[in-house]
A and B are shown apart, each in its own frame.
Chain A
Amino acid sequence: MPPAVKEKSKQAAHARPPALPKRTHKTKFQADLAPSEDHMVRALKAELQMSSNSDFLSDALTLFRWAVSERKRGHRIVSESATGERKVLLFPRLERVAPEVTLPHVDIRWTDRELGSLAELVSCQPAEPTEALIRAMRR
Chain B
Amino acid sequence: MAVTIRRLEEFDEVAGFDCGDEPLNNYLRRHAWTNQQKASIGVTYVAMDESAPRTVLGYFTLATSSVPRDRLPKKFVRGLPPYDLPLILLARLAVDKRFSGRRLGHALLSEALKITLRVADEVGCRCIVTDAYPDKAGWYARYGFILLEGAAASGPQRMFLDVRTIRRASSFESSPAKR
Question: Quick check: A104 and B67 within 8 Å, CB to CB?
Answer: no
Interface size class of A (residues with CB under 8 A): 35 or more
Query: Which residue of the partner chain B has the closest CB to A104?
Result: B40
Which B-chain residue is minimally distant from A136 (CB atoms)?
B110
The reply on B104 being an interface residue by CB < 8 A is no
Contacts of B66 in A (CB 8 A): 105
Does A123 touch B at the CB level, under 8 Å?
A: yes
Question: For the complex, would chain B's binding face be called helix, strand, loop or mixed by DSSP majority?
Answer: mixed
Number of interface residues of B (CB under 8 A): 65
CB within 8 Å of A: which B36-92 residues: 40-43, 48, 50, 53-54, 62-67, 71-73, 76-77, 79-80, 85, 88-89, 91
CB of B175 within 8 A of chain A? yes
Q: Are A103 and B168 in contact (CB under 8 A)?
A: no
Q: How far is the CA of A127 from the CA of B79 in the complex (A)?
A: 17
Contact of A92 with B106 in the complex, beta carbons under 8 Å: no
Chain B residues contacting A112 (CB-CB under 8 Å) are 73, 150
Of B1-9, B14-22, B23-31, the stretch lying at the interface with chain A is B1-9
Query: Which residues of the other chain, B, contact A126 by a CB distance below 8 angstroms?
Result: 162, 164-165, 168
State which residues 44-80 of A face B: CB under 8 Å. Answer: none
Give the residue name and chain of the B residue nearest to A112 (CB).
B150
> Known: A92-B4, A118-B160, A126-B168. Contact between A136 and B64, CB under 8 A?
no
Contact B169 A119 (CB under 8 A): no
With contacts A95-B6, A108-B89, A133-B143 taken as known, whether A122 is within 8 angstroms of B162 at the C-beta atoms is yes
Residue A32 is within 8 A (CB to CB) of chain B in the complex: no
Contact A127 B169 (CB under 8 A): no
Q: 18 more A-B contacts (CB under 8 A) besides A123-B79, A135-B106?
A: A88-B10, A92-B4, A103-B63, A104-B41, A110-B71, A111-B150, A115-B72, A116-B150, A117-B150, A118-B127, A121-B148, A127-B162, A127-B165, A132-B144, A133-B113, A136-B106, A137-B117, A137-B166
